[in-house]
A and B are shown apart, each in its own frame.
Chain A
């Protein structure tokens, strides 16, 4: 199985800050990397697929990059609604696997 490691597991930031979350795969997954946002008590929401493709309707302050084993999610100018937990997921091979999550909290 492909292991996905996210870092950091949590971070504190202020509204208007930029943040970067990293995700590393235990083997190459080409560009088969997706990012999800989960607000407490809600279902996850797809933000980015194929490492860097922004899902329609997702604000442009979200961006993704990377290929192979190393990927990043960047949020420019954090907004109040962005405080949530973010998960990466590889969809290169089954079993599809998620990273452990990164909780973005308000400083």
Chain B
């Protein structure tokens, strides 16, 4: 069965960096894109962008350029989100989700989420 398993919660100080991983299994990794979605405390869902697992080409939404980097390691079917120069407002739950082009680019499977807390 399809599974996306994310790395655990992180507590970081402002200015530090963090890497969130998303391990995929149960499907052909390179046949889909991986979306990244942010949810700030008590807020709605915000699409950060996606990375094409076949080409490695990322697309970033406005507001998620520069400090945010999507990457892949296809040998271990894992996607990564790196955030540098962390700010308090980066505190949120970050989700990876498989994007299915056959189903109108809907996100049909989601990771469990990774809580990133930025605090001094």
Contact = CB atoms under 8 A, between A and B. Distances in A.
Summarize A's interface: helix, strand, loop or mixed. loop
Interface residues of A, number: 25
B47 A44 contact: no
B44 A87 contact: yes
Contact of A91 (B37, B105, B111): B105
Given A32-B105, A49-B104, A98 B44 contact: yes
Interface size class, chain B:
20 to 34
A96 B61 CA distance: 8
A95 B47 contact: yes
Nearest to B100: A49
Contacts of B35: 96
Given A94-B61, A95-B62, A44 B105 contact: no
Contacts of B59: 94-95
Nearest to A100: B44
B106 A91 contact: yes
A10 interface: no
Interface of A: 1, 31-32, 34, 36, 38, 43-46, 49-50, 53, 55, 87, 89, 91, 94-101
Interface of B: 35, 37, 44-47, 49-50, 59, 61-62, 95, 97, 100, 103-108, 110-113
